[in-house]
Structures are given as structure tokens and as C-alpha cells.
Structure 1
Amino acid sequence: MAEITNDTLVNIDELAASMRGELDSLPVLSSKCCIYTVPKRLHHLNEKAYTPQLVSIGPLHHGKPELRPMEEHKKRYLQDFLQRTKLSLVDYLKVIEKNEKKLRDCYAETIEFSSDEFIKMILVDAAFIIEVLLRYHFKPMRKEKENDRVYNKPWAIQDIRKDMWLLENQLPFFILEDLFDPARITLPSGKNQMLSITKLAYEFSKDLWDLEEMEEKSQKNKSPKVQHLVDFLWICHQPPQSKSKKKLKTLGIPSATELHQAGVKFKLGSSKNLFDIKFKNGILEIPRLEIVGATELLFRNLLAFEQCHCSKNYINDYVIIINHLVNTAKDVELLVKDGIVENWLWDDEGMSALFHGLVKETFVIVDHFYFSGLVEELNAYCRKPWHKWQATLKQHYFNNPWSIISFIAAVILLVLTTIQAVCSILSV
């Protein structure tokens, strides 16, 4: 064995002291953390769905060259915000300064900006969000400035809306609430009663999906405090009630076509909640799902937030079951025909492909799959031969009035022929 020289010996005491210093200098992890960088395994699936295209909100994408042109317009929105309020720029800066640590703690990454840079950025971005929400709610406010590059330019507001729903492009909701005081803001006469950031956020997003208002949500179950705009959407989509805790026995979820062939009928649900899918007496009731250009972006960012932050996997489980239902374009066609799916994509194949893409990097926890009871009921129904025979008769032989008339005529003819034959035998 080679001899170990003194030069290679480790001074354990010095190493321990060095490591102790590293451990002691680790930053304290805050329980307030709620804004994350999207994990790489999700990001590579569709980078554009997680990356702002026009405007940066918050520190994670601040200063990127391709987003700098909007910085001037954000400052103009801050200028407009200050003009319609009864507080000064100094007053608002003090609000941000007082909350600086709390704001930094909301981000999973350590924010390297100096205090001056950070406070300035938060105020500019917060005022921009508030102004965007106000002008969306009060249409006359959009005409106040002819040079408004957000609302007076084709598609700009649509791109900005998409950027505002990105997980990496968020501000903590509490700072918007702290800065927004309807009593101190000049708004269209008599229109500031009962106005809140939550109400404005609802108005801003309700046409993307059928959403329950937060007031309705809070009446049904105690809603947690909103963390940011993506969290707002996630809370709006929480199921109305917990399903029975059944273990998922199989991933063999039938498609819409398979269910149709087994005799299941589809019905548009009256609920606004996506998760309120019900199956009773052979009828599968599904709330309306509108598929638009921003649908993939919204689902991807909700999934990313859920995987980074939430203890429940509601969006994950919904995407999985819808993916099975719309396995092919034919499945989508069935749901469109029954008014369940409103597909604004180019074709039915596009919607099927969308969910096949969304389901990548999702996962099933068999003990906590939200739709486990529903899957069990659907499979049990499909296993009964009588349901398939009955469906085959209806779909292939009794699918129009003439088929039914022909069948009745054939039965009558058969009965008459039988009677005639019996009478002939008896008369012999």
C-alpha cells in the first residue's frame, strides 16, 4: 500500500469548521413561498407555455431584452394609476418597503436585486396589473388615453393576459390588495362599491373558463387566502366537495366512443365547476369545457403550480380523465355534438392531441385519485353485456323512425304468419 504523505492528510477540524460555516449561512426557507420556477421536466414539453412573450411581472423574467419594450408602457400605467389615486408615489413606495422581506419570501429563488431595484420593480408591476384589471372591468377607462399600447393595439391585451397567467410571472396577491383601495381611487361615478382585486381578477378571467365567483366559493367551503393570479384560478377550480375515498383499481378509463358503444348517454352538466362530473342511470353528466388558444397555457401553469405547491392533485386528475375520454378525434366529435365540449381549435384531432400532450409528466396516486369512484362506476357499467346489446340495437337497428316502423311491421308479419300456420295445422 502506498504511503500517505502529510500533504494528503485531511484536517478534520478545519473541514468541520468550514462546513459548519456553510450550514450556518444557509438562508432560512420561508413558509410563505408560493411563486416558483417551472421544473425542467415540465418546461421542456412546451417552453412557450411558461415563458412571457410581451411583459415581465415580478423578478424572475425582469430585464430580459425581448421584454424591455413594455417597461416604458408599464411606467405609463404607473403614472396613470398615481393620477387617479389620493396617495403620492412616496406613500406607495413606503408600502412596498414595509413588505420587502415578506415579498422576497414569496419566491422560491433568492432574488438578487438590491432593495431599491426590487421596490421599484414591484411598484411598477403592481400598478400595471391593477390598471390592466381596472381597464378590463371599466371599458370607458380604455379610451382615456389614445396612445394606450395595451388596449388600443390589436391582440396586445390578449398576449398580456396570457403572460399574466404564467407561474413564473407572478406578484404576491397581498401586495395588490394593499395598494388597491377603491375609496382612494377615482373611478366611474358610483362604481367603486364592493370592488376588490378578487372581483377584478374574476372579471378578467371568467371568459376563459366558466368560473364560480369567489363569493360563491367561500359560501360552499372556506377558501384559503389567494397567493397570486395562478393560485386564484386553482382555487376557483377546487371541487365542490370531496369524493368518496376509493382506491383506483385500474387505469383502464373508457373513451367517449367506448362509453357510447356501451350505451352511456352524455349530458351537458349545469355546474360551472369542471370537476363536477356525475354518472347516474347510464347518463354521464360533464360540465362544459371550452377549448381556446390559451387553454394549454392555462392548464400547464396550473399543473406546474399544483406540482410545486399544492397538497391536492385536482388539475392533474382532471387532465388524466379527460385525456382518456377524448382519446381520438371521434371521441371529441361525440362530446362536441352533445354540447359538452366547445372546441375553438382548428379540428377535433387538435383537442385530442392537446390533452395527450398535457398528460405527459402527470402522475396517478391510486389512493387519492379524485375520480376513482367515477372510473369504477363507468367500468362496471361497460362490463354488463345487456347494456352493449341494448346500445347496439338502438344505434344500428332503431336509429331512425323508419327502422322502428320496419321492425314493428316485421314483427306483425311474423305474428300473422305464425297464426296462419297454426290455423292451417289445426284445420287439417
Structure 2
Amino acid sequence: MANSCRNEESIRNVDTTEIQGLDIPLVTFMEKKLENLHPLSSDCCIYRVPKKLHKINEAAYAPLRVSIGPFHHGKEGLEAMEEHKWRYLHNFLQHTQKGLAEFVKFIKEKEEKVRQCYAETIDFGSDEFVKIILVDAAFIIEVLLKYRFSNMIDKNDRIFRKPWMITDINRDLRLIENQLPFFILEDLFKKANITTSLSQNDNLSIIELTRNYYKTSIGLEAKIERSNCTEVEHFIDFLRICLNPSKPRSEPQRQKMVSIHLRCATELDEAGVKFFVGSSKNLFDIRFKNGILEIPQLRVTDVTESLLRNILAFEQCHYGTSYISDYVALMNGLINTRKDVELLVGRKVIGNWLGNSEDVSTLFSKLGKEIMLDKDTFYFSRLQDQLDDYCNSNWHKWKANLKHNYFKTPWAIISIIAGFSLLVLTAIQTVCSIISAT
């Protein structure tokens, strides 16, 4: 023990000047590395998709036609759209009274702030980075304007005059890795001060153009108008805000949930729960009362998976609250097999635009993989408690058993009534015989 103390004391008394004076290449390299570390910014909001999510469906996160921002710039297969983006930059400049040099200078001044929005260090030099941001931002602004005002679309436009092209671009603008910070779109639009026949639209803004753009293009019911977008990070964040619940999470009936366990639709149906489609446009407005589960309709189309996957990925990377994850978990719990899908489609809770019930079941099964849930903040915890209490009631079990086993068809009901009537008549006959005998 004494020797150990003396060794520690000798280590502390080493002449540090000897270590500092050593010319060790590794130390020099590491010191420079430490000096060049970029400070972490609170502005970070654009991420690469986590590998655990990416491996489930890589295609859901990859752009088909157009790269936006630095992550996919120059990617093979997207080169053809670059010329169209430059054409849209030319259109953008024609709609303003300012020159290209002024906009380059404008983006240059905001370069550092834009870089800080990306979760990874961007290797592009200053000039290349500024070029990417300006061309892509002008392209997006022109897409929003043309989508709102069809008279701005040139007769030879190769994007809006080709339905398959604009459909792919709509999809690509909803990818987490294919985003520009929303503030740069706002600032550039204000700077441009678009002067065309639209000048009578004094309230025209990027946020209004964005609302208009996503009113019909996302394929999910959402109250776009209600969203408070003063702090929107980018398009994916805008969509998440629009889809988020209109009401805060209710506290669960019990103090703390043991686990998240959601019964499938057929199990609930067998327990006597009745499904009705809700009238609300918000997917989270799900209510259960007196045995009736009211759920707003979800339209499942060929863009649903990609859209939800990218919102989920952003939510898991950026937010502490996991509303969309909770919703996907709920739907994944309700849908285990094609029979669950067929039941919900029959009740109009799901609008199946994929055609195949098995495809819908598989979609939610895959969406439910690798998402993080917190049982203490699960949005539907109260709903789970209500459904559990209802299904565990012996009275409801007895009614459901009677319905499913004895009242499945009209003939079964007629047989039950006939049998009951015969029993009553027999009892009456017996009573009458006893009375007459006395």
C-alpha cells in the first residue's frame, strides 16, 4: 500500500515540461484536431437517416429525380434534373428586379448559419456550397409559385407539363436528407420581392405557398391551416407539425403503464368493440366511449410509407416527443394480419389505395420496426387503459361471445328466437296443464 502511494506521488511529480517539450507527431496531430473541432450548433435540424431505419427500406429515403441540399448533390442518376434547376433559377431571376450577384452575396452572408443546420460537416468549399443552396432554394420557390399559380408555367415546362415528373419531385421534397432550412427559403423569398402579376397578393409568403402546396399532395388527412409555423425547420418539420395532435396527451388512468400492448382490430371486434370512422381531420382524434372506437380515416397510398418513414426518422433524430411514432405504434397494434385490414377497410377507418390487404398489413409491420417508444409518455396510454378495461369485463366478454357464436347470421338469430319461443310455449303449456289438473 505504501509503495502504491509512493508510485502515485512520483507520477504526479513528473516534470511536465519534459513531456510538453517532446516533438511527438501524434500529439501535434491530435492537438490540431482538437483545435479544429467545430462547435455544436442548436440550429442542427437536417440529418442522415439512422442506419437501423435505413436498412429496413433504403428506397423510402432516396431521391428519385432531384437532389436538394448537399447530402445528395452530384449523386448518380440525378444529373438530368440539374439543368432544369438552373432553368428555374433563370425564371426566379426574371421574377425579381435584382441581379444574380446580389443573391450570391446574400447567400454567402448566411452560409455559416445554413451549414450549421446540417448534422454532418459539409465538405463542399464555400463557392460550391453557396451555389448549391442558391440554385436549390430558387428551384423550390419556383415550384411553390408554379403550383399555386398555373399561369406561371411555361408551355414547354418539363416538370409541370409532365405529370410523372412533378409527382416524383413532390415525393423527393418530402425526404429528410433532401431538405433546405426553412429560414433560407423565407429570407430569399423576401429578398426577391417577386414582382409579377401576383403583386396584388400582398400576403403572399413562403409559409402560405407551403400550406397550399401540401394541402392535397401528402395523401394524409391533416389540418394544414391550423399549423403554427413560426419555428418550422424545413418541409418535413412542417408536415410533422400539421399531423401532430390538436390536443395535448391526456394523463393515463393509472399512474404508470407497465408496457405498451395494443390489441389488434379483430381481437377488439371479438370483445364487442364497434369501429366507426371519425369525422376529424386530425389522425390523433381517436375516441372510445360506450364500446365505440371512433378513428379518423387513414388513406394508405403508394406514398404513405415514404412520407411516414421520413417524418419518423426526423422525429427520432430531433424531438423528445414522439407523436408520429406513437401513432404508427397504435396502427401497427391494430393491424396484425390482412383480416384486421379488411375489418378496418370495411368500417372505412382505412382507405386502402394499395388494393391488397396483405400489403397494408406488411407496411405497418415494417413501419413499426426500430422505432423508439416511451411507455411513460405514450400518447395513447389512456386509450389503451380504456380498451383493456372494456375487453377484460366479463359482461362485455359474455355479450361478445353470444354475438359471435350465436348471432352470426340471420338464420342463427331466427333459430335462437324459434328455440326461445318454443321454450316459452312449452312452459305455458306445462303451467296450463297443472292448472287444469287442479
Q: TM-score, normalised by structure 2?
A: 0.88
Task: Work out the CA distance in 2 between the residues paired with 1:29 and 1:189.
Answer: 41
Match of 2:50 in 1: 39
Correspondence for 2:194 among 162, 185, 200: 185
Correspondence for 1:358 among 343, 346, 367: 367
Aligned partner letter, 2:57: N
Q: Is the 8 A contact 1:183 1:192 kept in 2?
A: no
**Is residue 2:106 matched to residue 1:95?**
yes
**Is residue 2:175 matched to residue 1:171?**
no
Partner-residue secondary structure (3-state), 2:277? strand
Distance change in 2, residues 1:270/1:65 (3 Å): same
**Superposed CA offset, 1:256-283 (max 9, x none):** 0001111111111222222222211111
**Is residue 2:232 matched to residue 1:226?**
yes
Task: Work out the CA distance in 1 between the residues paired with 2:95 and 2:62.
Answer: 32
Match of 1:237 in 2: 243
Q: How does 1:39-58 map to 2 (within 5 A)?
A: 39-58=50-69
**Is residue 2:431 matched to residue 1:422?**
yes
**Superposed CA offset, 1:29-66 (max 9, x none):** 11101011111121111111111111100011111231
Task: Work out the CA distance in 2 between the residues paired with 1:86 and 1:328.
Answer: 59
What displacement does 1:183 show?
Answer: 8.8
What displacement does 1:76 show?
Answer: 0.5
Task: Work out the CA distance in 2 between the residues paired with 1:383 and 1:305.
Answer: 37
What displacement does 1:94 show?
Answer: 2.4
Q: Is the 8 A contact 2:316 2:372 kept in 1?
A: no
What displacement does 1:182 show?
Answer: 10
Task: Work out the CA distance in 1 between the residues paired with 2:198 and 2:173.
Answer: 28
Task: Work out the CA distance in 2 between the residues paired with 1:226 and 1:156.
Answer: 27
**Superposed CA offset, 1:378-407 (max 9, x none):** 111111122132123334544566655554
Task: Work out the CA distance in 2 between the residues paired with 1:120 and 1:182.
Answer: 17
Q: How does 1:28-427 map to 2 (within 5 A)?
A: 28-142=39-153, 144-146=154-156, 148-181=157-190, 184-188=193-197, 192-207=201-216, 208-214=219-225, 216-218=226-228, 225-246=231-252, 247-398=256-407, 404=413, 407-427=416-436
Moved more, 411-420 or 338-347: 411-420
Alignment identity in percent?
54
What displacement does 1:420 show?
Answer: 1.3
Task: Work out the CA distance in 1 between the residues paired with 2:262 and 2:332.
Answer: 9
Number of aligned residues: 411
Distance change in 2, residues 1:275/1:224 (3 Å): farther
Q: Is the 8 A contact 1:271 1:287 kept in 2?
A: yes
Task: Work out the CA distance in 1 between the residues paired with 2:97 and 2:234.
Answer: 26
Task: Work out the CA distance in 1 between the residues paired with 2:377 and 2:50.
Answer: 23
Computing the radius of gyration from Cα coordinates, the structure with the larger value is: 2
Task: Work out the CA distance in 2 between the residues paired with 1:68 and 1:275.
Answer: 40
Task: Work out the CA distance in 2 between the residues paired with 1:191 and 1:271.
Answer: 34
Q: Which runs of 5+ in 1 are unaligned?
A: 1-10
What displacement does 1:85 show?
Answer: 2.1
Match of 1:7 in 2: none
What displacement does 1:170 show?
Answer: 0.4
Q: TM-score, normalised by structure 1?
A: 0.90
RMSD: 2.1
Q: Is the 8 A contact 2:260 2:375 kept in 1?
A: no
Task: Work out the CA distance in 2 between the residues paired with 1:322 and 1:217.
Answer: 23
Distance change in 2, residues 1:427/1:182 (3 Å): farther
Q: Is the 8 A contact 2:49 2:313 kept in 1?
A: yes
Distance change in 2, residues 1:177/1:329 (3 Å): same
Partner-residue secondary structure (3-state), 1:112? coil
Q: Is the 8 A contact 1:182 1:196 kept in 2?
A: no
Task: Work out the CA distance in 2 between the residues paired with 1:73 and 1:127.
Answer: 11
